[in-house]
Every structure is written in structure tokens, then in C-alpha cells.
């Protein structure tokens, strides 16, 4: 029997890091509630087709960062919930969000994700990501202050 933690590990290791889009069929519920807003997004998508949503999200991210690696640093399971801290890194080689030209730069950032599991499938997802530091690392956003850093 697959544990809730194993489903979440597959989400990061197989779907995103390895790019195995077919695993979405095995790990996601047909009705999946997405609460996480995508970078540059305004609204979370809400209830979606789980396997299709996971495939689309992984494809979208891997088109921007083909070498993306998501490493689980800690994972906790309690009841039907799994919380995980992830370190993500990759090189921007595709248009960011489909509109900003690739920067060719790397990013490394932490994320926290929560999942609810129902009937041995991922059924609900929340995320908090360090998008601002990632966008600064990629050169998309300049940090405030004088060029070259703070005054001496």
C-alpha cells in the first residue's frame, strides 16, 4: 500500500524532476483542488481534473526550466495531510510564463507545499514559494536600492 508521503515524493521526484508526466494518472484524484497561485498568476484554478492539471503544470515548469530539480528537505504526514519543504533549482532556458524571454540564469529557492490525500490519491494542494528571490536571481526583477547594492 502506498503511503501519503510516497504519493508526495512521486509528485516532486517523478513528475517534476524526472519529467514523467504519466505518473499524474497514478497519483492525482480525478477531482483535484488547486489552491496555489502560479507565479504571475492572479487566481488559483480551484477544482480541476487532477491528472490533466499535474501534466500541464509539470510541462509548463519544465518548458521554462528543463533541468529543474525539486529536492524534498523534510516531509511530515498527519492523517490525510502531508506537509513538505522543497528546495527547487534550475536554469531558465524557456520563456518565463510563456512571455518573458529566457534569461539563461539559474535560480534556487525554497517552497512549502501541503497536500490532502483522499482514496490514495492527491486531492488538494496549497503552496508557498519564494518567487521574489527566484525572480531576482533570474534577473527578471531588480532589487530596490542603488545599482551594485547598498551604500557603503
Across all residues in the chain, what is the average pLDDT? 93
**pTM, rounded to two decimals:** 0.89
List of residues 6+ apart from 70 with CB closer than 8 A: 12, 13, 16, 17, 86, 87, 88
Domains and CATH numbers, the chain: 4-137 (3.10.450.50)
Cα 17 to chain centroid distance, Å, stands at 10
DSSP-derived pairing of the beta strands 46-49 and 28-34: antiparallel
Q: For 47-103, what is each residue's pLDDT tens digit?
A: 999 999 999 999 999 999 999 999 999 999 999 999 999 999 999 999 998 889 999
Q: Is the pLDDT of residue 152 over 60?
A: no
Q: What is the C-alpha separation between 67 and 31, in angstroms, rounded?
A: 29
Least trusted range by pLDDT, from 29-43, 76-90, 109-123: 29-43
CB 125 within 8 A of CB 38: no
Least trusted range by pLDDT, from 30-34, 52-56, 57-61, 142-146: 142-146
- For residue 149, what pLDDT band results from cuts at 50, 70 and 90? low
Strand (E) positions, 21-144? 28-34, 46-49, 69-78, 81-91, 106-118, 121-129
Amino acid at each position: 500500500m502506498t503511503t501519503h508521503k510516497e504519493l508526495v515524493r512521486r509528485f516532486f521526484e517523478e513528475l517534476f524532476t524526472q519529467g514523467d508526466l504519466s505518473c499524474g494518472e497514478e497519483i492525482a484524484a480525478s477531482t483535484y483542488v488547486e489552491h496555489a497561485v502560479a507565479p504571475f498568476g492572479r487566481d488559483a484554478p480551484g477544482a480541476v481534473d487532477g491528472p490533466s492539471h499535474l501534466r500541464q503544470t509539470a510541462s509548463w515548469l519544465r518548458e521554462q526550466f528543463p533541468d529543474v530539480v525539486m529536492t524534498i528537505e523534510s516531509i511530515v504526514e498527519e492523517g490525510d495531510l502531508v506537509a513538505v519543504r522543497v528546495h527547487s533549482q534550475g536554469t531558465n532556458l524557456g520563456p518565463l510564463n510563456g512571455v518573458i524571454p529566457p534569461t539563461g540564469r539559474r535560480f534556487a529557492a525554497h517552497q512549502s507545499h501541503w497536500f490532502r490525500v483522499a482514496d490514495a490519491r492527491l486531492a488538494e494542494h496549497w503552496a508557498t514559494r519564494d518567487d521574489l528571490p527566484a525572480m531576482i536571481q533570474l534577473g527578471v526583477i531588480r532589487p530596490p536600492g542603488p545599482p551594485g547594492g547598498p551604500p557603503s
